[in-house]
């Protein structure tokens, strides 16, 4: 039977039909026999004013709809089109529910047929996509989508997308489609109808599996590509600048020679050959990645020895591999091998996944994630779970199927020959360039077990993060949500989780154990209560701290040793922590006993039984880590560590966390990294303070050592490209209450937004100040024409917020923390950068407090030796968001007048490229900006 899909899109006055929001445009595209048959589109008179932000989003204004029919006038046409169809939309619940409300309001019967959500289909069929927004998906398929946020264009693009998805399903192997079909009945929309129809078509002819795929144990995988061991003739590194430029220009349109990049290549090679350590600050536009990659590749091939490249984030790892390494494989006149290596837990454990597929699990996020993985396995060569775009529930499911090593003999794992983690390690052993991240590098250096193959040469990109990454790795944290989640995974017998499954396995094999399941249940219930008590006492202590100190903001942080260890509350807290640790140990030992007992019957165990033991083994690794954390943070803290409590005042006790980190790791970095590796090259755009590397070198344990140093300023002509503006009519931040300061900056932001037409990124140093400023401006209604987006308020990741910001002409983005670096918004999308206050860490911030004490104890000034250098580096990172390309132009506005009124202000202005600096009141500034932009 032919399926008829009607793809619908609506534009509306808002999101809530129950609150009176109405349709302003509707479009319906009919798809039959895999072809678009017709399209119905109409503006709709909503009989109310269209809000300004909807007009900004859609381009639809009151004038365009004033003569349009009302909804009840076009309802018969819509009912006719929908008759006998599968209602389809991108985010189907919104469009269908809104349409149902309008039909009901107009007195017509609601649509009662099946519905399909193309967002749900996109998540399944494009499991690694960065975004599931219609614009991004249309762009990815090169579909015609000329007017996003107008119903006719959106509906047509969604119809094209539906056809693309049908083609993608059709080329999937039959085994994969059958697995997807089994799971699809638990989805929110009727995707099973699409899968069933295409499954029936495929049944009509014999399928030949493509050569690059294989079926193993009922799951389709992309075949392992055998590593080609190419005999390489050691090349000669291009010594002259002419040779380097000739190499760099190969296949690059519009190539421009950059002297700084050539100097960087020479310095990296010099450090490798010497051998010795080097530190290189490379300003924006130098071409830093190629500056270190090219000499690294030449050196590795010449010496037949690996070079490790470590970046700060997994995202930067992927970028290096997909962009720079890909370009170099075409550019260089010889072959080289690259491997990307992450920690074991990043990879999929295939045996665990296979067995979870057989579970009767109707939980939506788990089902959706299983379907995503089934499709992903037909293409992934890495098995890196980080490739997937997962929901938060999907990430919880993946915590069950991630790789934790093997409890049973890995040779007995039926999937060992396909294991992704083992393959990644094998690739790394044969690679010239191994790309990893700082967290894994620290894990490899500071732990006893080594994951990386032996190496002597290393490049640290984004090196200003290495000390922070080392502290984070050596630290620990404890919070009630993740602790209780871990307890819940084991579960009492009644909850039928892992503990219940272990008992069932023991009974099934007639095994005798030294404890009764009821003992375990009682222990788990007691431990659950002890955790509640532990965080209940901490909540009481935190509220007492709040009353005493009356923090300005909604977040509190305090050092654990400041709450009075002789007090009654702390003694209760300590005793409760001892009970928690004892309970954790008791339960872990019981589970270990059960595991060891069952392990003896390994030969009789099914694959499902083995997967259960592996999952329990993975849980016990986390369980034991939690035991250590209780000891390290509460019972036996290391005096060299700083341990603190933090919480959102509105979310106590669930927002409570106890965190501990070493105050400094300079000695460990020196002993385990710089003293044992022949050459470490450290590079970043922000390493110097007042043109000196001294502060950075001291932080990483290299103070006083002989180091090669190179500072490369940006090649951009900042004098022509940017201006620095300091308003002189904003009160000094230290002389007024925060409410008064927020009121002043909000008024300035409103005036500046009009002058810049949006295109503004505002950087805050505290989320609380960001939130209060955002709400004040939003509630004022003066910027209703603008799209206001705020980190932590508008929803979505940094990447998603940045992309959304670039989509709108009149947009303002409020950011803190991660927005100070790593955000790349080139061109006219960003014309104005506002720095609300100089980025000094709050003096009561725990690590800052501990670091300052350490500096003072050594007889030095903590402000000049620590607080100021840290703030200057952060300021440089923030400033770097504005000019990303040689054609960019923009304005930096610093509201904090200390940059001009204090003796240390010059440390900030001298840290950035020399640009014209202007002071003035808001009227003068607005005029200047309008003229200049």
Domain-located, residue 781: yes
Q: Coil, strand, or helix at residue 783?
A: coil
Q: Give the end of a domain, one of 637, 653, 669.
A: 653
The whole domain housing 750 covers 718-932
* Residue written as token pair 């609150």: 19
d(CA 746, CA 339) in angstroms, rounded, equals 49
CATH assignment of the domain containing 94:
3.30.420.10
Q: Specify the CATH number for the domain of residue 859.
A: 3.40.50.300
* Token pair for 583: 């309970």
> How many domains does the structure of the chain reveal?
3
Contact 609, 511 (CB under 8 A): no
Burial 105-137 (b: 16+ CB within 10 A, else e): eeebeebeebbbbbbbbbbbbbbeeebbbbbeb
User: Is the same domain home to 633 and 485?
Assistant: yes
CA dihedral 533, 534, 540, 542 (to 10 degrees): -160
Q: Of 653, 675, 709, which marks where a domain is finished? A: 653
Residues 644 and 724 in one domain: no
* Range in 17-26, 513-522, 642-651, 919-928 with the lowest mean pLDDT: 513-522
Choose between 515 and 149: higher pLDDT.
149
Q: What is the pLDDT of residue 97?
A: 94
Give the Å distances, CA to CA, from 495 to 473, 491, 492, 501, 593. Answer: 34, 6, 5, 10, 21
Is residue 773 within 8 Å of 747, Cβ to Cβ? no
Q: Is residue 829 part of a domain?
A: yes
Q: Are residues 796 and 880 in the same domain?
A: yes
Instruction: With H, G, I as helix, E, B as strand and everything else as coil, classify residue 642.
Output: strand
In this prediction, residues 834-860 reach a mean pLDDT of 91
Residue list for the binding site? 282-289
Residues 741 and 839 grouped into a single domain: yes
- Does 237 have pLDDT greater than 70? yes
User: Do 769 and 649 fall into the same domain?
Assistant: no
pLDDT at 49 over 70: yes
The answer to whether residue 696 sits within a structural domain is no
Same domain, 824 and 911: yes
Calculate the dihedral angle through the C-alpha atoms of 138, 142, 148, 151, rounding to the nearest 10 degrees: -70
Q: How far, in Å, CA of 364 to CA of 681, rounded?
A: 47
Q: Is pLDDT of 874 > 70?
A: yes
- Average pLDDT for the chain: 90
Closest CA to 230 of 414, 73, 71, 430: 430
For the chain, the first-to-last Cα distance in angstroms comes to: 61
Does the residue 630 lie in any domain? Answer: yes
Joined together, the tokens standing for residue 369 give 């994630």
Q: How far apart (Å, rounded) are the C-alpha atoms in residues 260 and 575?
A: 60
Q: Phi and psi of 12, rounded to 5°?
A: -135, 170
What's the whole-model pTM score?
0.86
Q: Are residues 767 and 906 in the same domain?
A: yes
Report which secondary-structure segment, H or E, holds 849.
helix 846-857
Give the residue ranges of the annotated binding site for ATP.
282-289
Does 178 reside within a domain?
no
In this structure, are 776 and 881 located in the same domain? yes
pLDDT band of residue 225 (cuts 50, 70, 90) is low
- The contacts of residue 528 (CB under 8 Å, 6+ apart) are 484, 487
pLDDT score of 641: 92
Query: Based on the domain organization, do 630 and 752 belong to the same domain?
Result: no
- On whether residue 381 sits in a domain, the answer given is no
Selected residue with higher pLDDT from 883 and 679: 679
Query: Alpha-carbon distance 47 to 69, whole Å?
Result: 10
Instruction: Give the pLDDT confidence score for residue 250 in this predicted structure.
Output: 81
Exposure letters 328-345 (e unless 16+ CB within 10 A, then b): beebbeeebbbbbbbbbb
Contact yes or no for 656/480 (Cβ under 8 A) = yes
Per-residue pLDDT, averaged over 15-38, amounts to: 93
- What is the arithmetic mean of pLDDT over 732-753? 92
Query: What are the E-state strand segments in 426-520?
Result: 433-437, 457-460, 476-479
* Lookup: tokens for 617: 């083994």
- In the chain, pLDDT over 70 holds for what percent of residues? 97
Residue 364 lies in a domain: no
pLDDT in tens, 259-285: 999 999 999 999 999 999 999 999 998
Q: How confident is the model at residue 370 (pLDDT cuts 50, 70, 90)?
A: very high
- Looking at the fold, whether 726 and 607 belong to one and the same domain comes out as no
pLDDT at 544: 85
Residue 770 has pLDDT above 70, yes or no: yes
Same domain flag for 819 and 911: yes
Q: What's the pLDDT at 843?
A: 82
In a domain, 396, yes or no: no
Q: What is the mean pLDDT of residues 848-853?
A: 91
Among 604, 633, 653, residue at a domain's last position: 653
Residues 497 and 623 reside in one and the same domain: yes
Q: Alpha helices, DSSP H only, in 134-222?
A: 134-140, 151-171, 174-184, 191-203
What pLDDT digit, counting tens, does each position of 616-643 carry?
999 999 999 999 999 999 999 988 899 9
């Amino acid at each position: 039977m032919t399926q008829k899909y009607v793809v619908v899109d609506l534009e509306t006055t808002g999101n809530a039909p129950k609150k009176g929001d109405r349709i302003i445009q509707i479009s319906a595209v009919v798809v039959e026999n895999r072809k678009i048959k017709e399209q119905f589109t109409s503006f709709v008179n909503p009989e109310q004013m269209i809000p300004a932000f909807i007009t900004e989003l859609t381009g639809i204004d009151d004038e365009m709809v004033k003569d349009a029919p009302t909804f009840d006038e076009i309802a018969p046409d819509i009912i006719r089109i929908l008759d006998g169809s599968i209602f389809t939309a991108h985010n189907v619940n919104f469009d269908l529910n809104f349409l149902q409300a309008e039909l009901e309001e107009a007195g017509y019967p609601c649509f009662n047929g099946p519905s399909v959500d193309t967002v749900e289909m996109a998540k399944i069929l494009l499991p690694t996509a960065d975004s599931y927004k219609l614009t991004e998906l249309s762009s990815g398929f090169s579909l015609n989508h000329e007017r996003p946020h107008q119903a006719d264009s959106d509906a047509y693009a969604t119809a094209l997308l539906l056809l693309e998805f049908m083609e993608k399903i059709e080329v999937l192997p039959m085994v994969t489609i059958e697995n997807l079909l089994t799971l699809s009945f638990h989805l929110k929309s009727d995707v099973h109808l699409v899968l069933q129809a295409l499954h029936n078509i495929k049944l009509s002819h014999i399928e030949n599996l493509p050569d690059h795929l294989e079926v193993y144990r009922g799951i389709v995988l992309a075949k392992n590509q055998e590593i080609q061991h190419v005999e390489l003739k050691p090349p000669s590194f291009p010594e002259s600048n002419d040779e380097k430029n000739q190499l760099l220009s190969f296949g690059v349109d519009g190539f421009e020679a950059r002297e700084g990049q050539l100097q960087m290549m020479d310095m990296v090679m010099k450090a490798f050959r010497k051998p010795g350590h080097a530190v290189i600050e490379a300003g924006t536009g130098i071409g830093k990645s190629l500056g270190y990659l090219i000499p690294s590749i030449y050196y590795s091939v010449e010496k037949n020895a690996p070079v490790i490249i470590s970046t700060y984030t997994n995202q930067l790892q992927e970028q290096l591999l997909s962009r720079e390494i890909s370009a170099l494989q075409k550019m260089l006149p010889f072959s080289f091998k690259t491997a990307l290596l992450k920690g074991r837990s990043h990879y999929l454990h295939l045996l665990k996944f296979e067995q979870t597929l057989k579970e009767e699990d109707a939980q939506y996020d788990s089902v959706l994630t299983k379907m995503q993985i089934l499709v992903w396995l037909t293409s992934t060569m890495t098995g890196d779970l980080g490739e997937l775009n997962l929901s938060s529930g999907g990430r919880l499911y993946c915590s069950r199927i991630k790789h934790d090593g093997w409890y049973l003999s890995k040779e007995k794992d039926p999937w060992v020959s396909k294991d992704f983690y083992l393959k990644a390690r094998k690739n790394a052993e044969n690679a010239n360039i191994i790309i990893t991240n700082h967290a894994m590098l620290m894990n490899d250096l500071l732990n006893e077990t080594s994951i990386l193959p032996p190496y002597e040469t290393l490049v640290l990109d984004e090196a200003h993060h290495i000390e922070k990454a080392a502290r984070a790795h050596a630290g620990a944290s404890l919070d009630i949500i993740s602790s209780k989640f871990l307890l819940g995974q084991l579960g009492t017998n009644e909850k039928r989780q892992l503990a219940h499954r272990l008992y069932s396995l023991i009974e099934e094999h007639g095994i005798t154990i030294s404890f009764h399941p009821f003992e375990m249940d009682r222990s788990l219930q007691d431990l659950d209560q002890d955790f509640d008590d532990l965080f209940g006492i901490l909540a009481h202590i935190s509220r007492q701290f709040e009353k005493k100190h009356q923090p300005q903001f909604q977040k509190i942080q305090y050092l654990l040793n400041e709450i009075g260890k002789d007090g009654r509350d702390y003694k209760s807290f300590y005793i409760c922590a001892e009970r928690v640790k004892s309970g954790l140990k008791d339960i872990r030992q019981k589970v270990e006993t059960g595991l060891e007992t069952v392990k003896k019957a390994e030969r009789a165990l099914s694959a499902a039984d083995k997967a259960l033991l592996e999952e329990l083994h993975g849980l016990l690794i986390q369980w034991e880590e939690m035991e250590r954390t209780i000891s390290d943070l509460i019972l036996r803290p290391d005096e060299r560590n700083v341990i603190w409590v933090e919480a959102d005042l509105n979310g106590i006790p669930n927002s409570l966390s106890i965190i501990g980190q070493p105050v400094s790791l300079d000695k460990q970095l020196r002993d385990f990294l710089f003293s044992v590796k022949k050459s470490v090259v450290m590079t970043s755009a922000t390493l110097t303070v007042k043109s000196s590397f001294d502060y950075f070198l001291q932080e990483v344990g290299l103070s006083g050592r002989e180091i090669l140093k190179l500072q490369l300023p940006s090649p951009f002509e900042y004098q022509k490209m940017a201006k620095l503006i300091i308003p002189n009519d904003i009160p000094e931040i230290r002389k007024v209450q925060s409410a008064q300061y927020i009121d002043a900056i909000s008024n300035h932001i409103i005036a500046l937004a009009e002058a810049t037409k949006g295109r503004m990124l505002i950087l805050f140093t505290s989320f609380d100040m960001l939130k209060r400023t955002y709400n004040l401006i939003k509630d004022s209604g003066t910027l209703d024409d603008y799209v206001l987006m705020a980190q932590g308020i508008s929803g979505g990741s940094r990447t998603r917020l940045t992309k959304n910001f670039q989509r709108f002409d009149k947009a303002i983005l409020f950011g803190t923390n991660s927005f100070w670096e790593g955000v790349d918004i080139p061109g006219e999308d960003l014309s104005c950068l506002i720095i609300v206050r100089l980025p000094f860490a709050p003096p009561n911030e725990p690590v800052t407090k501990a670091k300052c004490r350490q500096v003072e104890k050594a007889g030095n000034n903590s402000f000049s030796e620590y607080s100021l250098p840290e703030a200057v580096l952060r300021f440089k990172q923030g400033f770097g968001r504005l000019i990303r390309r040689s054609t960019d132009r923009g304005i930096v506005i610093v509201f904090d007048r200390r940059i001009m009124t204090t003796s240390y202000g010059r440390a900030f202005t001298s840290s950035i490229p020399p640009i014209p600096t202007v002071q003035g009141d808001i009227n003068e500034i607005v005029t200047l900006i309008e003229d200049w932009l």
